[in-house]
Every structure is written in C-alpha cells, then in structure tokens.
Amino acid sequence: NRSIHTLQVSQIARTIGKALKLNLDLIEAIALGHDLGHAPFGHDGEEILQEICQQRKIGLFFHNVHSLRIVDKLADSCRGMNLTFQVRDGILSHDGEINEKYLKPDRDKTEADLTDYCQKKSQGREIQIVPATLEGCVVRMSDAISYVGQDFEDAIRMGILLKSELPEGIKRKLGESNTDIINSLVTDIIINSHNRDEIIFSSDIAEKVFQLKQFNTERIYKSPRLKGKKTKLKTAFKFLFEKFLSALNWGEEESLIFKEWIFNRGKNKGADYVNSNLPEQVIVDYIASMTDRYFNNTYIKCKK
C-alpha cells in the first residue's frame, strides 16, 4: 500500500533524523511528498507509462520527476504548493541506486540543476542526482530501508517464495522479518553517521543490503508470476490511454477524465490546464494520479 509505505518512510527517516539532530520538519515534508508521483502498481506501472510515452513521443515518465510536477504544477487546482527548494530537491532526489553505501549532500545544487535533471530524464538520458541536504539523504536511505524487507515479506504472503529461502548470511546480519531488518539498518546508519556530513552504512551491513536487494530482484521482481500480471496490466493501461485520448479529442465531458480530473484542475473547468499541456500529458497526469484500486475500478467502468 502506497500510503503505508510513505508513512513508514517518514517514521524511519524521522527516527534517524532525531538521533542525528537534523531538521525533522524538512524530513517529514520530503518523506510525505517523495512518492506522490508514483503510478498505480508501482514500478510496473511506471515502466508501462514510460513505454506509452516513448510510443507517443512525449517526455518519458519517471515517478520522482512526476512527484515534483505534482507539487509544483498540479496540486491545489494547478496552483502548486509553493514548497522550498530543499523540500522540492529532496522529493526529486529520493530515487537512488541499488548499491548505495553512503550519501553525501551536494550543497552546491541550484534550481537550474533540478531543471536540467528533469529535462535529461524525460529524454531518456542517464543522469544521477544526490540530495542537497542531509535530510534529503536520510529520506532516500529510509526509502530503501522501508521497501527492502517489506517486499520480501509481501512475497512470502503472496506465495512467491518461502521465508526459509532467505540466505543465511542475510538472516544472521539483518534478521529475517521486516521489523528486524528495519531495526538493524536504522541502528547501523545512526551509529555510523553520527557527527558526519554524510549518511552511511557500515561496510558489512551495506554488503548484506546489496545482497538482499539482489535476492529480491531475482526471486521477486523477475518472478514469472508477476510478469504474467504485468502483461495484463499493460493491456489495461493502453486501453485506458486510448479511451481517454478519444474523449479528449472529441470533447466528451461525460468521460471520467473530465469529471474526475480535468474539471478539478483550476478555474474555467481546467481549460487553462488542458490548453497548456499536450492531450497525452493530461492523460499521463490522470493515470499517474490513480491508486491501484481506483485504476481497477476505472478500467471496469470504461470497459462497460
């Protein structure tokens, strides 16, 4: 559940931040906003939207870039939220690499760097970004801490693998439940980051985190069972995209994209929003705003 993950990231990050005497308000603001741009069905939904954007020749979709678009341009009926640079940077910079042992803030970053990153990402170019603040670094590490153990437990509940399949070295060092893993990682980061201008794991813990992420990738994310679901998802995404594109082209104001999205995008029933964006971008904005359940319900309604 996306909201549970967001609250968990916030809680983990605030725990670390409090121990390191950081700005807890900044940490919470970044944490609560970091995944606003996630498409339904997580990274599968993100990859499908990327594929659709590529086919339509509009900028590629990335959830961290879209999170910034939401707080800057779409929130509050397209007025934006007027957030500080530090919060916006933390939201954009929360997406990290699989094998990060430490994060040192890039304190020289400017607004131009955020714009450059967004442009290059939308063009499909490889570009890395590091948060400008320690608080942003804490949230990025906390995001990884939150999902690495949770994904393993979710896979057990779904019957994709057994608890006993977790490698023994990871069990010994991190624990075998999500609670144990979070506790091990939070404790390690606090101890190793104290009085330093970086957020860092110890070498042995960092190695086990990397091994656990690799284990999750091979045994969960690449599971044939999940790949079968992704094929069905792709069909649903493309169906809704075509349905909404037709509604926009023909001005079908009874369509859900008008009633539940466009009409809520500012004055004149969202006319300014529609006129200043490509139809394809409007559809991406709408689909990306959906929860899994809302997406499923919308698909069922539109198929009738």
The pLDDT value given to residue 138? 98
| Same domain as 233, residue 207 | no
Distances (CA, A) of 194 to 14, 104, 213: 15, 13, 25
Tens digit of pLDDT for each residue in 3-33?
889 999 999 999 999 999 999 999 999 999 9
Task: Assess if residue 204 is contained within a domain.
Answer: yes
Q: What is the rounded CA–CA span in Å between residue 196 and residue 173?
A: 24
Confidence of residue 98 (pLDDT cuts 50, 70, 90): low
| Same domain as 281, residue 191 | no
The pLDDT value given to residue 223? 85
Task: Assess if residue 35 is contained within a domain.
Answer: yes
If one counts the domains in the chain, the total is 2
| Same domain as 29, residue 173 | yes
Tens digit of pLDDT for each residue in 121-176?
999 998 999 999 999 999 999 999 999 989 999 999 989 999 999 999 999 999 99
Tell me the CATH number at 95: 1.10.3210.10
| Same domain as 205, residue 241 | no
Identify the domain containing residue 291 by its residue range. Answer: 225-303
Task: Assess if residue 49 is contained within a domain.
Answer: no
Q: Euclidean distance between the first and final Cα of the chain, in Å?
A: 27
| Same domain as 206, residue 265 | no
The pLDDT value given to residue 100? 87
| Same domain as 179, residue 130 | yes
| Same domain as 229, residue 105 | no
Non-local CB neighbours of 95 within 8 Å, separated by 6+ positions: 62, 63, 64, 140
Helices (H) and strands (E) in the chain, counts: 16, 2
Task: Assess if residue 55 is contained within a domain.
Answer: no
| Same domain as 250, residue 179 | no
Among 175, 193, 224, identify where a domain stops: 224
| Same domain as 197, residue 73 | yes
| Same domain as 250, residue 206 | no
| Same domain as 188, residue 240 | no
> Long-range contacts of range 173-176, CB-CB < 8 Å, 24 or more positions apart?
173/204, 173/205, 173/208, 174/149, 174/205, 174/208, 174/209, 174/212
Among 195, 224, 253, identify where a domain stops: 224
Among 173, 208, 224, identify where a domain stops: 224
pTM exceeding 0.85: yes
